Structure 1
Amino acid sequence: STAAKFEWMYPVHKEFGVLAFLIGAIALIVRRGSALPHHPAGLAAWEIILSNMVQYAMLALAIVVPLMGYAMSSSFTQSDGVPFFVTDLPELLPGNDHAFALFAVAHKTLAYTLLALVVLHVMGVLKHRFLDRGRAADVLRRML
């Protein structure tokens, strides 16, 4: 029902969006300070480049998508706040329905872009695991 959507689903969506932002920020910090395992020897140069680009894009979008959601919620003139489990986050942007509409388009477009990149990434892992000959290109061990 519409009431459940606004009373339960949106607040939970916002809470998990803030949580996703925090996890994305921590992942970015950890990744910047950690040495990554080497790529498997069986990967072509273009596969390594594509893998790195997708990984960095996913990390960036894990931060940007929740920020766009926060900006969207914060700029909505009839906003009921941005809950985060036991507290409410301050709304830092002034209410502006035009800005809200722009943030809404950005949030939705970037979220679907992130989803597409996750699917691409998983397809790449499955390709290397099951379709490539031998273990020289298996990236699953590197990921785990």
Structure 2
Amino acid sequence: MSDTLANRYPRSLRILHWVRAGLVLSLIAAGWTMTGLPDAAAVKFTVFYPWHKSFGVLVVAIVLVQLAIRSQSTLPHPPAALPRHERVLSEMVHRTMYLLLIVVPLMGYAMSSSYTESDGVFFFGMHLPELLPKNDARFRVFQWLHSTLAYTLLGLIALHVAGALKHRFLDRDRSADVLPRMF
């Protein structure tokens, strides 16, 4: 594939893609870390949870901006060298990732809103409104959904990366390489 501008995503989408990727992977790592800390560790509630919530809200904002830009942009078509089943799988993975990039943080927001011990969601120091009544039974449902969907998102990210690396290093037809489109 030639590395022409027509075969690349717009610069704004490429930048937001990599910023979002770094944030999401950091949020997953922070989630593992903070949930593994004992409740007696002050850093769990003074650092990890507030920053996790702020950056989670930021991810939703970035995704909404990306979707707006995508709707107004000319995007590259899938390489003709990709077999139909890979194009379909790629489309399904991308759509599901975008959906989960919104739903996972919303489930986290719902957790914070509904948990009786939570003081809500702060977005870099600004208190966001709690939209749900306090209810620990609902909190547990939102907690399960947040965790389960976050792991689902992580699996899709792994599939996304594996697909890009496969096209880059294993496909015989070099025009199937999709990686230059995001750099």
* TM-score after normalising by structure 2: 0.75
5+ residue gaps, structure 2: 1-36
Post-superposition offset of 1:12:
0.6
Post-superposition offset of 1:135:
1.1
Post-superposition offset of 1:41:
1.6
Q: Secondary structure at the match of 2:176?
A: coil
For the pair 1:87 / 2:126, whether they are aligned, the reply is yes
Post-superposition offset of 1:35:
2.4
Instruction: Check the 8 A contact 1:81/1:91 in 2, yes or no.
Output: yes
RMSD: 1.2
Q: What is the count of residue pairs matched by the alignment?
A: 144
The 5-angstrom pairing of residues 8-23 of structure 1 reads: 8-23=47-62
Which residue number in structure 2 is paired with residue 35 of structure 1? 74
Identity percentage of aligned residues: 60
Which residue number in structure 2 is paired with residue 136 of structure 1? 175
Counterpart Cα distance in 1 of 2:182 and 2:96: 16
Which residue number in structure 2 is paired with residue 65 of structure 1? 104
* TM-score after normalising by structure 1: 0.95
Post-superposition offset of 1:50:
0.5
Q: In the TM superposition, what whole-angstrom CA distance separates every residue of 1:21-66 from its partner, at most 9, and x where no partner exists?
A: 1111111222223222011121000000000111111111111111
Instruction: Check the 8 A contact 1:27/1:59 in 2, yes or no.
Output: no
- The structure 1 segments of at least 4 consecutive aligned residues displaced by more than 4 Å after TM superposition are none
